[in-house]
Amino acid sequence: MDFKIYNTLDRKKELFVPLNPPFVGLYVCGPTVYGDPHLGHARPAITFDLLFRLLQNLNYKVRYVRNITDVGHLENDSDEGEDKVAKKARLEQLEPMEVAQYYINRYRDAMKYLNVLPPSIEPQASGHIIEQIEMIKVILENGYAYESNGSVYFDVEKYNRKFHYGKLSGRVLEEMIAASRDLDGQSDKRHSADFALWKKASPEHIMRWNSPWSVGFPGWHLECSAMSTKYLGEQFDIHGGGMDLMFPHHECEIAQSTAALKHESVRYWMHNNMITINGQKMGKSLGNFITLEELFTGNHKLLEKAYAPMTIRFFILQAHYRSTLDFSNEALSAAEKGLDRLLKAVSTLKKIKPSSESTVDVSSLKKECMEALCDDLNSPIAIAQLFEWVRIINQLHEGEQKITQEDLDKLSNDMHEIVFDILGLRDDSIADNQNLVSGLVDMILNIRLDAKSKKDWATSDKIRNELQNMGVVVKDRKDGYDWELE
Ligand code: ZN
């Protein structure tokens, strides 16, 4: 099936044609690991997880690289100030890599809850300092960078004479320079729009490495150029990330890769839009910053209750990734109800009795869902299509429509494939039910222990026999009991 992607670089939808089919190279900017994963992390993770799952379903062999930024990302995303990871380490008196590891673990746990598949490679910036230094050397050799006081800066003006700085974000260099003229003379940069490839470490800067220019650390944007080239080659298919990374991060990535390789490396740029909370941008200073753990536990003043990870995933998938998405208790509760209806319909499929004829056309479900998803990941249309089938499944269950065994098998397979494999939803009520069943069996067997201690053999035998009839085998032990399902 043809797959169309909206390429942010050309601002239009294009047919996706991989460089080396069936292989697809996918790079997505991952988290900077200095704080708990939050709502802002969930959207890109789920968007590109959907892309990853869909491409695999279309039989592509995807190498999905999602990096971890553990060095070089300075406060305010600028070239000056403290490193975000190092600052946390200083405040908590930890080694910076302890901070990074702690939040990497937290991030991976949260992704598991959201049923986000792990990427093929998850490289850390601090493990690729050599590759970054090598890339700086090439950019210097090619004449698009200069050394100043032990730091190395990218020469944006010189680059812009031959290439186009601003092509992704649509910004104009002259306007950027005019807007930041007052910064001139305050740094080692020749021009205010230049950005750091290597920074000389100040004495208090604790994350530092040797380089030909100084003991220092790489600039934030460089890791993605260096690691995408290392793992996906000089040209690769898709680069994704949040819209907030388009400038300066991705614009600088394009400039670095082009300056080093003399050609562009990314063929399709994809950007997910942002999440707002009750209509406002999310920010620590606004008091509406919600971590994923707070969402899962309901432990935040803006939340009326806890929301299950699958509710969050479904809520995000209900919007197209290029639209803004507003978080509110009402919207989340509606998503929770919708997901419940969808998952109930999937389990209702098992209860439907087949007929000798079908009054429904089961071929349309997969076809229409796949057409929507292959049209630039239009998950809301695919979900609307699924709800059309929720209605039909309920009619089949009520006997208002008929279906043959063969059609029922196809419907069931297609429904599972779209809901669980491609949209990546998970029926957590199955695990919940298992816990409930274990709890109930234990409760009943404890009542039986009580009866036995009172020599009420009639009740004790009755409980054991009736559980046995339901497939629960009870083994008495000196100190209690064991049980297992037949
Ligand atoms: Zn990046």
Q: Quote the pLDDT of residue 228.
A: 98
CA separation, residue 117 to residues 18, 55, 66, 169 (Å): 22, 13, 11, 29
For residue 60, how far is its CA from the centre of ligand 1 (angstroms)? 24
Kindly report whether the peptide bond that precedes residue 21 is cis, defined as omega within 30 degrees of 0.
no
* pLDDT tens, position by position, 341-394: 999 999 999 999 999 999 999 999 999 999 999 999 999 999 999 999 999 999
Range from 21-30, 94-103, 247-256, 432-441 carrying the lowest mean pLDDT: 432-441
C-alpha 441 – ligand 1 centre gap (Å) = 51
Residue 423 confidence (pLDDT): 98
Q: How much is the pLDDT for 184?
A: 47
Label residue 183 by pLDDT band (50, 70, 90). low
Mind listing the pLDDT tens digit for each residue in 435-470? 888 889 998 999 999 999 999 999 999 999 999 998
Q: Give me ligand 1 centre to Cα 388, in Å.
A: 39
Percent of the chain with pLDDT over 70: 99
Report how far ligand 1's centroid is from the alpha carbon of 68 (Å): 9
Cα 130 to averaged position of ligand 1 atoms, centre (Å)? 17
What mean pLDDT is predicted for residues 36-47? 95
Question: Model confidence at 71, in pLDDT bands (50, 70, 90)?
Answer: confident
Taking the centre of ligand 1 as the mean of its atom positions, its distance from the CA of residue 285, in whole angstroms, is 25
Residue 39 CA, ligand 1 centroid: distance in Å: 19
pLDDT value of residue 129: 97
Q: How far is the CA of 101 from the centre of ligand 1 (A)?
A: 19
Residue 225: per-residue pLDDT:
97
What percent of the chain has a predicted confidence (pLDDT) above 90?
Answer: 80
Q: What is the pLDDT of residue 180?
A: 67
State the average pLDDT over residues 208-216.
97
How far is the centre of ligand 1, averaged over its atoms, from the C-alpha of 30 (Å)? 7
Start-to-end CA span in the chain (Å): 45
Tell how far the Cα of 312 is from the centroid of ligand 1, in angstroms.
25
The DSSP output letter for 159 is H
Q: How far is the CA of 249 from the centre of ligand 1 (A)?
A: 6
Picking from 321, 323, 315, the residue whose alpha carbon sits closest to that of residue 292 is 315
For 100, 317, 462, 481, the CA distances from 379, given in Å and listed in that order, are: 33, 6, 53, 49
- 63 Cα–ligand 1 center, Å: 16
Q: Which residues pair with 325 in a beta bridge?
A: 275
**Partner residues linked to 355 by β-bridges:** 404
Q: What's the 426 CA to ligand 1 centre distance in angstroms? A: 29
